[in-house]
Structure 1
């Protein structure tokens, strides 16, 4: 197999503190892969500026001016991590043979790239970077994250356990993936849908090298909910099942009430009435919320708005 052209795609949002630290690391790893003749000399690093409000784009432009192996694109506004990553992958699709997507904070082990490229040479078109353990996470984050992956699989979403967005993808897969036109993106659950040969490599995740995480609990929960509702309709079926179950219970209570009325043993109870009313009201509101989430996603999909707009590039098209 010829040496493949590799593009390392790195989405960035307000990362002016960490980029000067991690950029040399990414560049050293790329040069290492080139020196070992695992990838082509035409391989590049592609930074994607996701509408940052700080000096992130200025830094990317400086990097590109100083080093021919670094390129960059800038989105017209902040579109979120998943859209920024997609923009980078689609930009690289026609320029390379393989891409490796990775966050810019230095937490993912760069040495796993060697194994990913090796797996590609052995025939894999998708190689998932999977965390071997989550010791650097807090107990709450570790528990909720692992619970999310288990829940996703039970709901029918084909998600690789403990895999985020550190992965190698071949251009052949990206070409087919470009036919996925949905606006609501959850890439870690969408790539398994494409098929092709896939495997996993395992690595330990480190602490963030500098700066602060841009994925607080609120964003993580939103991403998780987006993932569930984007990949599975089982929540709707669960709501339907709950509705059927309570309909049966209600019918039995009606029968019980009628029998009690006939025998003159009607028992009045304000507390029980309030409990039942509140319970049913809560279930109805939750059900409407779940249904509304799907209706909202359908509404967004029908608009066919672009998922991102590239406003700037550091290199000639």
Structure 2
């Protein structure tokens, strides 16, 4: 796959924020310094900026963003009308950033992803790559439970047939044409990590060590991780439906064998009266049916939401050049 070199881009760093008041000042300082250093080194254009997206926070996150926008020339803000979730907030930021940029980097506000990797992403962009994945090379700073469940999440997604980069979350660089291609996906139930590989275009991995969250609590506990996995699986693959079909076929084969066995012992006169096998089979089949109906219902629910064509987010206000719109 051939790539062509590019000039320094106008870069926008998109930062989704939900109740990040405790970490905002540190995040702002780190990213603003990174922008200034890259401008000084002629890696990016002088009009590059940070774009913070407030995902309906309950704390003072939006106030912090407004104050930062009023004080800094390279800072802009977007406020969603309500909490829509990380993926929708990120998509909202990408929509706004795509109107003003040559390349976009997305990163979480907790700064567990190494900010210094942005320089390598920009250099990869200048070398001609359209998608640059930030891949976690080490997660030793995470707890055993967090590390195990996170890696289990990626293995589960791969098992279900979802094509995504292992240990890659939402830390990446997209060129303007890659971003435009991503925004052409109009589904309501979005899983951006799974959509990016579908875009194609030349891509590269940038590896880094995951750091420690500097303050506050993780916005992705086990409950949200499971919800994200369900969203990713049901929006990216029909593997669970095929699993149900395979399970039904297997049960039919076992049932046929059981019928032959019952007929055999009936003919030979070795029938033993008992209710255990009957009760167990009823409970087993009942459980399989309920599970199957639940999975099918989840897909039907997704279809129901998609057919409504409701907007994925509403922007309440935008901070640009120190003024709120």
The aligned residue for residue 66 of structure 1 is: 71
Cα distance in 1 between the residues matched to 2:22 and 2:12: 23
Match of 1:52 among 49, 54, 57: 57
- Note the C-alpha offset of 1:137: 1.9
Q: Is the 8 A contact 2:7 2:126 kept in 1?
A: no
Match of 1:247 among 252, 260, 265: 252
Q: Is the 8 A contact 2:149 2:222 kept in 1?
A: no
Q: Is the 8 A contact 1:131 1:204 kept in 2?
A: yes
Is 2:307 the partner of 1:302? yes
Q: Is the 8 A contact 1:47 1:73 kept in 2?
A: yes
The aligned residue for residue 208 of structure 1 is: 213
The correspondence of residues 66-145 of structure 1 with structure 2, limited to 5 A, is: 66-145=71-150
Cα distance in 2 between the residues matched to 1:146 and 1:310: 34
- Note the C-alpha offset of 1:152: 1.8
Q: Is the 8 A contact 1:94 1:171 kept in 2?
A: no
Match of 1:36 among 30, 37, 41: 41
Equivalent pairs counted in the alignment come to 317
SS at match of 1:262: helix
Residues 196-248 of structure 1 show CA distances to partners (whole Å, capped at 9, x for unaligned) of: 11111000111111111122111111101111111110111011101110011
Residues 68-87 of structure 1 show CA distances to partners (whole Å, capped at 9, x for unaligned) of: 10000100100000000000
- Note the C-alpha offset of 1:281: 1.3
Cα distance in 2 between the residues matched to 1:40 and 1:188: 28
The aligned residue for residue 8 of structure 2 is: 3
Superposition TM-score, scaled by structure 1 size: 0.97
Is 2:197 the partner of 1:196? no
SS at match of 2:138: coil
Cα distance in 1 between the residues matched to 2:24 and 2:82: 20
The aligned residue for residue 275 of structure 1 is: 280
Is 2:32 the partner of 1:27? yes
The correspondence of residues 158-237 of structure 1 with structure 2, limited to 5 A, is: 158-237=163-242
Cα distance in 1 between the residues matched to 2:307 and 2:149: 32
- Note the C-alpha offset of 1:303: 0.5
Is 4-13 or 131-140 further displaced after alignment?
Answer: 131-140
SS at match of 1:110: coil
The aligned residue for residue 3 of structure 2 is: none
- Note the C-alpha offset of 1:153: 2.1
Cα distance in 1 between the residues matched to 2:302 and 2:183: 20
Q: Is the 8 A contact 2:8 2:126 kept in 1?
A: no
Q: Is the 8 A contact 1:99 1:171 kept in 2?
A: yes
- Note the C-alpha offset of 1:143: 2.0
Cα distance in 1 between the residues matched to 2:94 and 2:9: 16
Cα distance in 2 between the residues matched to 1:158 and 1:256: 43
Superposition TM-score, scaled by structure 2 size: 0.95
Structure 1 runs of 4+ aligned residues shifted over 3 Å read none
